[in-house]
Amino acid sequence: MKLELQSAEGQLIKELNNDNFTIAEFDVRARQIIHVVNTDPDAEQLTGADVPKFELTKKEYEERPDTVLGYKKRNQMGRFAPDYESKMSDIKQKEAEEAAHITVGSRCEVRIDNGAARRGTVRFVGETSFEEGIWAGIEYDEPYGKNDGSVEGKRYFTCEPKYGGFVKCKWVVCGEYPELGLSDDEEL
């Protein structure tokens, strides 16, 4: 058996071939797929190809009331909620307003909830292919990041490995944030 990490469209991103890693350590992101490939040559007998299966077309599934989709429609949840479009429009407008205050090349501090503030330089602001919405690409002063400015093989900016990261614009505060030196650390 081997594991492959695929994009939502089914394109191979990388093979997950380290048996000592947990799934969390493979940096799997939202809407990505972990595809299991059976490499056992005897597995062909176990496919159940000759066993009758219950199958539905997409249209039949959409028409059935006893599915998750039917439940969402009945209860007006998710994209079936009456105010879904206006909520999505409000979210997009708010993200655009937050992004308008961020300039590529400016110094910043990233403050996510209760986490420690991290300083860096804004290297990218815009929409990405890995997740919906507007994102800020940050080159951190220290190796706090998860990447080198590229995600899923697409480059958004360039920096050293582990110095790049992407955050929602609401967590970024631009201003006069010089790099912290050793003398800036407080001694206990």
Tokens at residue 18, please?
A: 């380290």
Q: Which CATH superfamily is domain 102-184 in?
A: CAP Gly-rich-like domain (2.30.30.190)
pLDDT of amino acid 168: 95
Q: What is the dihedral of CA 31, 32, 33, 34, to 10 degrees?
A: -130
> Mind listing the pLDDT tens digit for each residue in 79-123?
898 898 899 899 999 999 999 999 999 999 999 887 789 999 999
H or E element at residue 179: none
Beta-ladder partners of 37: 2
Name the pLDDT band for 187 (thresholds 50, 70, 90).
Answer: very low
Query: Is residue 133 helix, strand or coil?
Result: coil
- Name the burial class of residue 106, with classes exposed (0-12), middle (13-18) and buried (19+) by CB atoms within 10 angstroms of its CB: middle
Q: Compute the Cα dihedral for 131, 133, 139, 143 and give only its sign.
A: negative
Domain ranges of the chain: 1-47, 62-100, 102-184
Q: What is the DSSP letter of 97?
A: H
Integer angstrom CA distances of residue 183 from 69, 121, 164, 178, 180: 58, 21, 24, 13, 8
Question: What phi and psi values does residue 90 have, to the nearest 5 degrees?
Answer: -65, -40
Are the C-beta atoms of residues 165 and 138 closer than 8 Å to each other? yes
> Mind listing the pLDDT tens digit for each residue in 133-162?
999 999 999 999 999 999 999 999 999 999
Tokens at residue 58, please?
A: 């997409």
| Residue type at position 77 | M
> Mind listing the pLDDT tens digit for each residue in 20-45?
777 777 778 888 888 888 888 776 66
pTM, two decimal places = 0.59
Q: Which residue has the tokens 């400015």?
A: 149
